[in-house]
Structure 1
Amino acid sequence: MSHIFLSGETAVDIAASVERAVRLGLVLPGDRLPSVRDAGLLLGVSRNTVASAYARLRDVGILIGGPGRGGMRIARIHPFEGRALELPSGACDLASGNIDSSFLPPLAQILDRVDLGSSGYDAEADDPGLVALVRERLGFEGLDTRHMCFVSGALDAIERAMRAQLRPGAYVLVEDPGFPPLFDLLRSLGARLKPMPMDQEGPLPDAVAALLRGGAAAVVLTPRAQNPTGADISPARAQALARLFAEHPEVLIVIDDHWGPLSENSLALLPPRHGRWLFVRSVSKFLGPDYRLAIALGDDVTIDRISRQHALGPRWVSRLIQRMARALWESPETDRLMEAARAAYRERRAAFLGVLEEYGIAAQGRSGVHIWVPVQREADVAQAMLGLGWAIQTGEPFRIESPPAIRIGMANLTAASARSAAHDLARCLSGPRRFLS
């Protein structure tokens, strides 16, 4: 391909020219950039200048890869997560991956109980009351809470842990299908992703064992309500995985328990007793995404490195937010809303899966708010469903090696509308043009 879009004499200008080309569609995901040497000759600058430009672009997620044979490539960015979808009038959004906001506790109910005063630069970074609450709640679940810190979301914690402990080019095991923003984050850090095949009980142990023997540096797991499949790691599967991790104490084990207290089953997969590990629980799903607060637990070295990195930038998560999160988490009204959410999501999933089962259509959705349906032609199914008034998500962004499927979110449904959506999906899959695999 032509690299005429490359321009600039400094690393900043060269990086800006690539970013501009991405925005204008002059380069596409997967397109390769010239090598550092070739780009330097093309632009008349040193290799170090080009390498610095490429490093900038990789740090912000625009480039993936490294200086080896594969070279640097434009990353595949998935904007659908966390961004409002532009849907046709009257279409029901089952694609965005949001939660049902009616189950989030209103902030007004606790404001009179929260100290809203500002504190100075010399105050403790972590609210002592929230620290005590975390130790009580997460300790009750069997987690080691001796070393913790608060960060701005689960991906923030994972990024800081990976930056502190992984070298570019390291192998990271990820769930397949899995979470696209995690894929993009890891690729932006120069990691090479190795997909772990899954069923509804989590990653398959034999496959994980083989991948660990292949030299993995880290593993990222979702123990409950996995996105997009709804997988829930069972006690038996957790034991099998724990035995494998015990054989590889040098591997960083990351557990992203994003569903947390909304889960119907207790936490089966606990971090290893020895070695490097990180356990993250965001408050986004049960208190609200706008708090941008997550709890990070881990071994002493991992938490120390995350804390040091955090102190160099944001320094601390807003203490006002910490105090509000603590008051909401302790509120009996929040407990009532979480119980209602668990029941509602369970009812919606059961209604949707029940209809598909009647039609003989295989689907996954053991927990959480997502249903994963294997199909043959994802885009055709999505288009057919949109014609019936349902916006669903094609599975391509979630997949590395796993076969085609579609993801359907339950957040904007009732049990009745879930049955209606399932009937329409069955019609699409059972009509004259079949889309099932």
Structure 2
Amino acid sequence: MPHSYLHGETAADIAASIERAVRLEHVLPGDRLPSVRDAGELLGVSRNTVAAAYGRLRDAGLLIGGPGRGGMRIARVHPFEGRALELPSGACDLASGNIDSAFLPRLEHVLTDVDLRSSGYDAESDDPGFVALLRERLGFEGLDTRHLCLLSGALDAIERALRTHIRPGAYVLVEDPGFPPLFDLLRSLGARLKPMPMDGEGPTVEGVAAELRGGGAAAVILTPRAQNPMGVDISPARARALTTLFADHPDMLVILDDHWGPLSEHSLAMLPPRHGRWLFIRSVSKFLGPDFRLAIALGDEVTIDRIRRQHALGPRWVSRLLQRMAGALWQSPETEQQMEKARFAYRERRKAFLATLAEHDIPAMGTSGVHIWVPVRREAELVQAMLGLGWALQAGEPFRIDSPPAVRIGLANLTVDSARKAAQDLAQCLTGPRRFLS
């Protein structure tokens, strides 16, 4: 009997039966669920009951799709960002979200200048020299550095802020397409995702306004520069418009994840609000190295105080050895040279890739950072076609909530010449007989 795994008379029971079927592999990623109407008739319940069950699973990331032609399908399990991908021998990895490690500064150049003595439990929580450096560098960018704390990465900062601010079932505005680990984190906290549609200047004003009109948004999370996966900065005009919208919602926590930081080619256009609840995060992962697991969080006094209190119950502090090493690297002339090389290399790879696509009239996003986003018609088929040509791309599905199909291309493992070649092969796939272009 088709769909015999479906059971229950309530939304909770129906959702549980589907979760059980996924766990026991009675249904597989990509399998389509019956329509709301068909499932209701099969179970003898109302369409609203089935829709509520499907909605729960979609919010939890177990289902994708919607009520339209494609229907609801079992979500695929995607590798966490940064996890090593299993690629065929000889394939060039354009799928992972990594940076080019050739541009990371070398720690041995500054170790002799770092105080490597370990401190005790009674030492001051943060290294005074590192905190002074942060206040100088971030203050120069126009940021309010009065209230500051150090955490183990951007997602750590976001999680701690949200745990103090939202309850299960709360709505959080997120970029669509956006960052899959963030989606997973929010769902693990019981949050309900409200997607903000994106264009070349950031979240659209109309889309954000529509979500805010619905009311009830507890937080909004934005990427001011080098947004992953689209590779765009929030423009000055868009920043002004969004700031005006947020001013009418002073109780909403505004989170800015500036992960690209000093590698950016443009200054920050989107700054935290002057009043209300806010958090600004600057991770050192992209310019000093992911293994530092270190992020700087600025915010209003209440938000930072709550994060500090929560952090003190567990880790208590971020390693002061790491702080001193990060401070020495950040101030090193070699680091600035490496960052300048990275800006130039990423810019030239990006220009070469986009220019080649433009020669074939293929639209793409990617004006900042290390990713390019190309709208397509059929993601999976295109990924397979490119893999046959030696290029491993990332299907856009894990990055999308309601946004249309696309693929993400990472620039870390390309040169200018290979960027042109990859774009040429992509153009052939998109404009050839099978036409994967959106």
TM-score, with structure 2 as normaliser: 0.85
Q: How many angstroms apart in 1 are the aligned matches of 2:145 and 2:164? A: 21
Kindly indicate whether the alpha-carbon contact (under 8 Å) linking 2:231 and 2:367 is maintained by their aligned counterparts in 1: yes
Q: Give the structure 2 partner of residue 15 of structure 1.
A: none
**Which residues of structure 1 form unaligned runs of 5+?**
5-17, 33-57, 65-73
Q: Give the structure 2 partner of residue 352 of structure 1.
A: 353
Q: What amino acid is aligned across from residue 161 of structure 1 in structure 2?
A: A
Q: Secondary structure at the match of 1:322?
A: helix
Q: What amino acid is aligned across from residue 186 of structure 2 in structure 1?
A: L
Kindly indicate whether the alpha-carbon contact (under 8 Å) linking 2:174 and 2:221 is maintained by their aligned counterparts in 1: yes
Q: Give the structure 2 partner of residue 44 of structure 1.
A: none
Mapping 1:67-78, distance limit 5 Å: 78=78
Compute the displacement of 1:29 (Å).
7.2
Q: Give the structure 2 partner of residue 206 of structure 1.
A: 206
Q: Give the structure 1 partner of residue 44 of structure 2.
A: none
Compute the displacement of 1:284 (Å).
0.2
Compute the displacement of 1:27 (Å).
7.0
Kindly indicate whether the alpha-carbon contact (under 8 Å) linking 1:297 and 1:303 is maintained by their aligned counterparts in 2: yes
Q: Give the structure 2 partner of residue 162 of structure 1.
A: 162
Q: Give the structure 2 partner of residue 87 of structure 1.
A: 87
Q: What amino acid is aligned across from residue 370 of structure 2 in structure 1?
A: V
Compute the displacement of 1:78 (Å).
3.1
Q: Give the structure 1 partner of residue 14 of structure 2.
A: none
Kindly indicate whether the alpha-carbon contact (under 8 Å) linking 1:351 and 1:419 is maintained by their aligned counterparts in 2: yes
Q: Does 1:124 align with 2:137?
A: no
Kindly indicate whether the alpha-carbon contact (under 8 Å) linking 2:61 and 2:187 is maintained by their aligned counterparts in 1: no
Q: What amino acid is aligned across from residue 266 of structure 1 in structure 2?
A: S
Mapping 1:25-424, distance limit 5 Å: 25=25, 78-215=78-215, 216-424=217-425
Q: What amino acid is aligned across from residue 331 of structure 2 in structure 1?
A: E
In structure 2, relative to structure 1, the CA distance for the partners of 1:87 and 1:75 (3 Å cut) is: closer
Compute the displacement of 1:232 (Å).
0.6
Q: Secondary structure at the match of 1:88?
A: coil
**Which residues of structure 2 form unaligned runs of 5+?**
8-17, 34-56, 64-73
Compute the displacement of 1:231 (Å).
1.3
In structure 2, relative to structure 1, the CA distance for the partners of 1:25 and 1:288 (3 Å cut) is: farther
Q: How many angstroms apart in 2 are the aligned matches of 1:354 and 1:252? A: 39
Kindly indicate whether the alpha-carbon contact (under 8 Å) linking 2:256 and 2:279 is maintained by their aligned counterparts in 1: yes
Deviations 1:45-88 (A, max 9, x none): xxxxxxxxxxxxx9xx8989xxxxxxxxx987532412101111
Q: What amino acid is aligned across from residue 212 of structure 1 in structure 2?
A: L
In structure 2, relative to structure 1, the CA distance for the partners of 1:62 and 1:245 (3 Å cut) is: closer
Q: How many angstroms apart in 2 are the aligned matches of 1:80 and 1:158? A: 17
% identical equivalent positions: 78
In structure 2, relative to structure 1, the CA distance for the partners of 1:3 and 1:110 (3 Å cut) is: farther
Q: Secondary structure at the match of 2:256?
A: strand
Q: What amino acid is aligned across from residue 179 of structure 1 in structure 2?
A: F
Compute the displacement of 1:347 (Å).
0.2
Q: What amino acid is aligned across from residue 285 of structure 1 in structure 2?
A: K
Q: What amino acid is aligned across from residue 103 of structure 1 in structure 2?
A: F
Q: How many angstroms apart in 1 are the aligned matches of 2:161 and 2:296? A: 13
Q: How many angstroms apart in 1 are the aligned matches of 2:101 and 2:90? A: 20
In structure 2, relative to structure 1, the CA distance for the partners of 1:368 and 1:62 (3 Å cut) is: closer
Moved over 2 A (4+): 1-4, 18-32, 61-64, 74-78
TM-score, with structure 1 as normaliser: 0.85
